[in-house]
Amino acid sequence: MEGGKPLVLIPFFSLLKRASCILGLFSQNPAISITENVLHFKAQGHGAKGDNVYEFHLEFLDLVKPEPAYKLTQRQVNITVQKKVSQWWERLTKQEKRPLFLAPDFDRWLDESDAEMELRAKEEERLNKLRLESQGSPETLISLKKGYLFMYNLVQFLGFSWMFVNMTVRFFILGKESFYDTFHTMADMMYFCQMLSVVETINAAIGVTKSPVMPSLIQLLGRNFILFIIFGTMEEMQNKAVVFFVFYTWSTIEIFRYPFYMLYCLDMDWKVLTWLRYTVWIPLYPLGCLAEAVSVIQSIPVFNETGRFSFTLPYPVKIKVRFSFFLQIYLILLFLGKCWLCNRLFPVLSLEGRVK
Residues annotated catalytic, as ranges: 285, 292
The CA-based dihedral angle spanning residues 279, 282, 287, 288, taken in that order and rounded to the nearest 10 degrees: 80
d(CA 81, CA 117) in angstroms, rounded, equals 23
Question: Cα 175 to the chain's mean position, in Å?
Answer: 49
* DSSP helix/strand/coil, 103: strand
**DSSP code of residue 61:** S
Cα angle value 190/195/200 (rounded, 5°): 115
Report the C-alpha gap between 323 and 159 in whole angstroms. 32
Contact between 47 and 9 under an 8 Å Cβ cutoff? The reply is yes
- Single out the residue of 219, 220, 226 nearest to residue 297, CA to CA: 226
- State CA 108 to chain mean position distance: 43
Neighbouring C-beta atoms of residue 244, cutoff 10 Å: 21
CA 41 to chain CA centroid, nearest Å: 59
Q: List, in sequence order, every residue forming a beta bridge with 60; answer none if it has no partner.
A: 93
Give dist(CA 196, CA 183) in Å, integer: 18
User: 10 Å Cβ neighbour count for 189?
Assistant: 17
Question: One-letter amino acid identity for 133?
Answer: E
